[in-house]
Amino acid sequence: MTMPKGHKSPHGYATVKSLPGGMDYRSIAEKMTSDGDKMNHATARNVFLCAMKKFAGPILKMYDLSADDGDVMRTAKDPRFQESIIDILDDVNKEKERSAKDGEITI
């Protein structure tokens, strides 16, 4: 008897390893452990998804969409949402770098 197939996400799975400077969960866990914070890849994934949930909840509310726990987690796991957050944070970091070069004080 063959093994049953697992859940297939309708929008695929996010991988930030393909982005410049990106790491997969296993690499993150190894880096954290070598820096003194014992972590495995499942914990790295859970910490990442917890952070994504903190973005997803307020964004869903801002657009008057359902923000119950299931919807927030579904949004946080969606690779399209994760890539959008990465793009936004990248833009913020670039703006801070430009401001620092211009001599402006940023907080």
What value does the mean pLDDT of the chain take? 86
DSSP state, residue 68: S
Q: How many C-beta atoms surround the C-beta of residue 29 within 10 A? A: 21
Residues 6+ apart with CB under 8 A from 44: 25, 26, 28, 29, 32
Residue 9 has pLDDT above 70, yes or no: no
Convert the pLDDT of each residue in 43-95 to its tens digit.
999 999 999 999 999 999 999 999 899 999 999 999 899 999 999 999 999 99
